[in-house]
Chains A and B, each alone.
Chain A
């Protein structure tokens, strides 16, 4: 249990079977496996006697091997998905061993982002468990000479009740392995009433390892003969080394050599940033040597980037007509009538991920093959970029996935892993690249800076008769195409085109912005700034109309209905609109639930205290949050209490879900209080936790209460959806406490006094 066992399996399936899609490949390929030639495979699940799925193997001693193909960065998905297999198999959790998958397309998508591990793999996991269970029952029925229909399973055993016979899974494994596997349509899934683990959950499989220091993160990976590297990157994105002098660096005890790394070509994507690497016998020597480098840089065109001026540019763009991405009715006609219009600008700066484990990776390039140990959310992207950088085939890149010391989206971009691979090739040794915190803060793929312009006219009843919103932000696709300036549907959907209000006239727009830093996914992504603008502007209008914030929010959400996205590019987080329609009734329900649970309108609030509310759907999950704050005369903020209600459909692991929403409140606290990355002449101003502070224990909410709607809807996301409504509710609470409307984040910069 103390270390991650990895499935290292090579060139297993190179044929056409993979194209069948994630849902089927998990259990369907084994026909080929059973009938085909013996293939090289190394994982315990693969080696197991009964191996009906790439995700599962059962040995004669009763051990059940379950493969975790998604990365573990704290959401507990490494435990929760195997739990689904174990449930459907009727396996004893104590006899389950989890092994971490290497990067391999046979597992389907492995990019652990977008809060979709459970959603996308729930059925696959059930099918894997059900297939094995079906084969074990068949094997037992054959041995006993009784009809299959008379056999059933109990914990880790097949039983025949009328004759009181029982056989353990281990003793049946060999016989079951000789059977033809059932077709998917023949599988009988357990009824909900028989579920052992789903809906009840389990603590992390790694819990003891985590509290004893035995858990292995990327930072802890080790190979004999490895050397350590620290890289001085170009300070401005797209910069290059003009010349460098490493004489002093090489004098540092423990420093072996320096190695230049080429700058990226075209758009940065996941390529190394380039620069000069210092190779040393230990991490500290590499850091010290690096400080002694003397490098002249050609900074390139991004040298003109200043974040203050850029903010003004975004704002100006948002004050003029932009590209329309959704429209209902005619807002211009209403505004032209000349009734009072309410306007507001909202702004969220660039944000850094600041996972506790900085970027780190260990690589060995040997005999034309690369072996990597990396805390990556995206091992298949590692294979792609390393193969490209080293000029080898993707199949010759083995990416072992360690535990991640936080990810939040940063570690789905494997530039740092590619760096290690390049350095191993150049030095001929295993190389561990260790980024400093300063590297992490200065060379992130930042959450986009965004400016939102909001405008509404109110009718006699106080409700909006017209609503216009424009957002302007450098889009994530700019890391792949430097000319990309407009938001793509995948990010405009995030709380923007899907504004859930029942409005007679609505126009949603998006304006262009060129990126000067790498932009990337960060927990909740565009939902953060979009929910902030919409949910705080809603609160502003409630005040203007003289309505209670909760009543007004519910009024705007309107009657339960399914949002019609006719004419709107709305990807719905990659899920079908049939399985996951946008149901305003569910948003209403969590809003009403959190209001009731938090005692909205019933609790007394003294001077300097206040509460705020916000509701938002993201990653297919409906969330409403009430935040209570205290602000003293010095403008210092405390958060005594947070209440969050959520509807994420079926919840496999309630305990892990609560933890994610507790954590989301803390993550959101950092966004509001102090999250800001700025740049001067293209160089990021911040460097470590002294100038990029994140919430500490006394600044975080004192108590966060989580309420989960009991739902049979298909499972949705839980890692990210908690952040956006928290940010908005927090700011609304600050208004309630102080009368000061927060429109520019963070409050540390703009103050509350």
Chain B
């Protein structure tokens, strides 16, 4: 059995240890906020936090999630909206929205490690997250707004 914590709740998993965390979250736990986009860690739609760091859940095997604390969008903020989510609404970032959960998780991890990221640092940190609708300039603006909020 693989033991892990998901959004603060203890879980155990007895299935295939090679199964990616993404499908455990989605198909087993029913936490569908994290999205399937590419399956190979190239688009970032599946981004969650593992022990506080952004991770691509589509290429994180369950065996590697054992003993870890996993946070998904459903558990990002206990009080409703995280400052990054608020900034996303304020700047009106999403179009289709499908990638945005991953973008938000990535941005929240960035702001945890870097309070006031410069444009170049934002672009570097967010370069693994694709938005096909093309909301990038609003993502950049929202991260700056959230950084101001969190400062």
Interface hits, B41-72 → A, CB 8 Å: 42-43, 45, 72
Give complex CA distance A697, B120 in Å. 10
Known contacts A211-B104, A212-B33, A213-B33; A406/B73 CB under 8 A:
no
Complex contact B37–A697 (CB within 8 A):
no
**Contact bitstring B118-135, A, C-beta under 8 A = 1, else 0:** 010011101111111111
Nearest chain A residue, comparing its CB with the CB of B32? A220
Minimum distance in angstroms from B142 CB to a CB of chain A:
10
Q: At the interface, yes or no: A283 with Cβ under 8 Å from chain B? A: yes
Q: At the interface, yes or no: A655 with Cβ under 8 Å from chain B? A: yes
B138 touches which one: A222, A358, A662 (CB < 8 A)?
A662
Give complex CA distance A696, B129 in Å. 7
Complex contact A210–B94 (CB within 8 A):
yes
**Contact bitstring A213-245, B, C-beta under 8 A = 1, else 0:** 111110110100000100000000000000000
Q: Which residues of B contact A694 (CB under 8 A)?
A: 130, 132
Where chain B touches its partner, the secondary structure class is loop
Q: Which residues of A contact B116 (CB under 8 A)?
A: none
Give complex CA distance A436, B38 in Å. 7
Give complex CA distance A208, B85 in Å. 8
Complex contact A356–B130 (CB within 8 A):
yes
Q: Which residues of A contact B79 (CB under 8 A)?
A: none
Give complex CA distance A662, B137 in Å. 8
Complex contact A695–B72 (CB within 8 A):
no
Complex contact A659–B39 (CB within 8 A):
no
Complex contact A253–B139 (CB within 8 A):
no
Which of B45, B88, B95 has most chain A Cβ within 10 Å? B95
Where chain A touches its partner, the secondary structure class is loop
B98 touches which one: A357, A667, A689 (CB < 8 A)?
A357
Q: At the interface, yes or no: B9 with Cβ under 8 Å from chain A? A: no
Complex contact A284–B132 (CB within 8 A):
no
Minimum distance in angstroms from B105 CB to a CB of chain A:
9
Minimum distance in angstroms from A76 CB to a CB of chain B:
8
Minimum distance in angstroms from B100 CB to a CB of chain A:
6
**Contact bitstring A113-125, B, C-beta under 8 A = 1, else 0:** 0000000000000
Q: Which residues of A contact B136 (CB under 8 A)?
A: 666, 695-697, 700
Interface hits, A651-704 → B, CB 8 Å: 655, 659-660, 662-667, 669, 688-690, 694-698, 700-704
Give complex CA distance A281, B12 in Å. 18
Q: At the interface, yes or no: A254 with Cβ under 8 Å from chain B? A: yes
Known contacts A220-B32, A689-B42; A663/B94 CB under 8 A:
no
Q: Which residues of A contact B93 (CB under 8 A)?
A: 211
How many positions in chain A have a CB within 8 Å of any CB in the partner chain? 67
Q: Which residues of A contact B97 (CB under 8 A)?
A: 74, 206, 210-211, 215, 403, 405
Q: Which residues of A contact B89 (CB under 8 A)?
A: 203, 207-208, 211
Known contacts A356-B37, A356-B99, A698-B123; A211/B94 CB under 8 A:
yes
Q: At the interface, yes or no: A204 with Cβ under 8 Å from chain B? A: yes
Which of A207, A211, A284, A434 has most chain B Cβ within 10 Å? A211
How many positions in chain B have a CB within 8 Å of any CB in the partner chain? 58
Known contacts A211-B88, A212-B73, A284-B27; A219/B32 CB under 8 A:
yes
Nearest chain B residue, comparing its CB with the CB of A76? B95
B35 touches which one: A253, A356, A701 (CB < 8 A)?
A356
Complex contact B137–A253 (CB within 8 A):
no
Complex contact A704–B137 (CB within 8 A):
yes
Q: Which residues of A contact B81 (CB under 8 A)?
A: 208, 211-212
Nearest chain B residue, comparing its CB with the CB of A434? B36
Q: At the interface, yes or no: A317 with Cβ under 8 Å from chain B? A: no
Complex contact B94–A217 (CB within 8 A):
no
Minimum distance in angstroms from B99 CB to a CB of chain A:
5
Minimum distance in angstroms from B113 CB to a CB of chain A:
18
Q: At the interface, yes or no: B28 with Cβ under 8 Å from chain A? A: yes
Known contacts A283-B36, A404-B96; A356/B134 CB under 8 A:
no
Q: Which residues of B contact A213 (CB under 8 A)?
A: 32-34, 72-74, 101
Q: At the interface, yes or no: A733 with Cβ under 8 Å from chain B? A: no
Q: Which residues of A contact B37 (CB under 8 A)?
A: 356-358, 437
Complex contact B92–A667 (CB within 8 A):
no
Give complex CA distance A405, B100 in Å. 10
Give complex CA distance A76, B126 in Å. 25
Q: Which residues of A contact B94 (CB under 8 A)?
A: 74, 204, 207, 210-211
Q: Which residues of B contact A619 (CB under 8 A)?
A: none
Known contacts A254-B16, A357-B35, A436-B39; A663/B134 CB under 8 A:
yes
Q: Which residues of A contact B119 (CB under 8 A)?
A: 702
Q: At the interface, yes or no: A140 with Cβ under 8 Å from chain B? A: no
Q: Which residues of A contact B30 (CB under 8 A)?
A: 222
Q: Which residues of A contact B35 (CB under 8 A)?
A: 217, 219, 356-357, 405
Complex contact B23–A282 (CB within 8 A):
yes
Known contacts A211-B85, A437-B39; A284/B127 CB under 8 A:
no
Minimum distance in angstroms from A666 CB to a CB of chain B:
3
Minimum distance in angstroms from B22 CB to a CB of chain A:
8
Q: At the interface, yes or no: A730 with Cβ under 8 Å from chain B? A: no
Give complex CA distance A437, B22 in Å. 15
Extra contacts besides A207-B89, A690-B40, A701-B137 (7): CB < 8 Å = A72-B96, A74-B95, A76-B95, A208-B89, A211-B94, A284-B19, A437-B43
A contact residues vs B (CB 8 Å cutoff):
72-76, 203-204, 206-208, 210-217, 219-220, 222, 228, 253-254, 282-285, 287, 354-358, 403-408, 434, 436-438, 655, 659-660, 662-667, 669, 688-690, 694-698, 700-704
A-B contact pairs, 23 of them (CB 8 A): A75-B95, A210-B100, A211-B88, A213-B33, A213-B34, A219-B98, A220-B32, A253-B16, A283-B23, A284-B19, A355-B96, A355-B132, A356-B133, A404-B96, A405-B97, A405-B99, A406-B98, A437-B37, A659-B92, A666-B131, A697-B136, A700-B136, A700-B137
